[in-house]
Amino acid sequence: MQTISRRLADRKVAKFQKNIARRGSVPETTVKKGNDYPVGPIVLGFFIFVVIGSSLFQIIRTATSAGMA
């Protein structure tokens, strides 16, 4: 007759052994494809527009204020 803790230990060992047998066999559907972007092209375009626009504005503002100072 087995005690409760021994039965639980046997169950955990069996589950662990089953996981060891399946290790490394990853289905192809979970493999991530490399052509997916984290953001859309519209958001990326808007971000580039804001960054380049603000840098140009800063350059123009610095160039015009340099003559006054």
In a domain, 1, yes or no: no
What pLDDT is attached to residue 21?
Answer: 67
The total of structural domains in the chain comes to 1
In a domain, 63, yes or no: yes
In a domain, 69, yes or no: yes
Please write the tens of the pLDDT for every residue from 14-60.
Answer: 888 877 766 666 666 655 666 667 888 899 999 999 999 999 999 99
37, 44 contact by CB (below 8 A): yes
25, 19 contact by CB (below 8 A): no
Whether pTM exceeds 0.75? no
In a domain, 11, yes or no: no
In a domain, 27, yes or no: no
In a domain, 12, yes or no: no
Helix (H/G/I), strand (E/B), else coil: 58: helix
Range of the domain at 65: 40-69
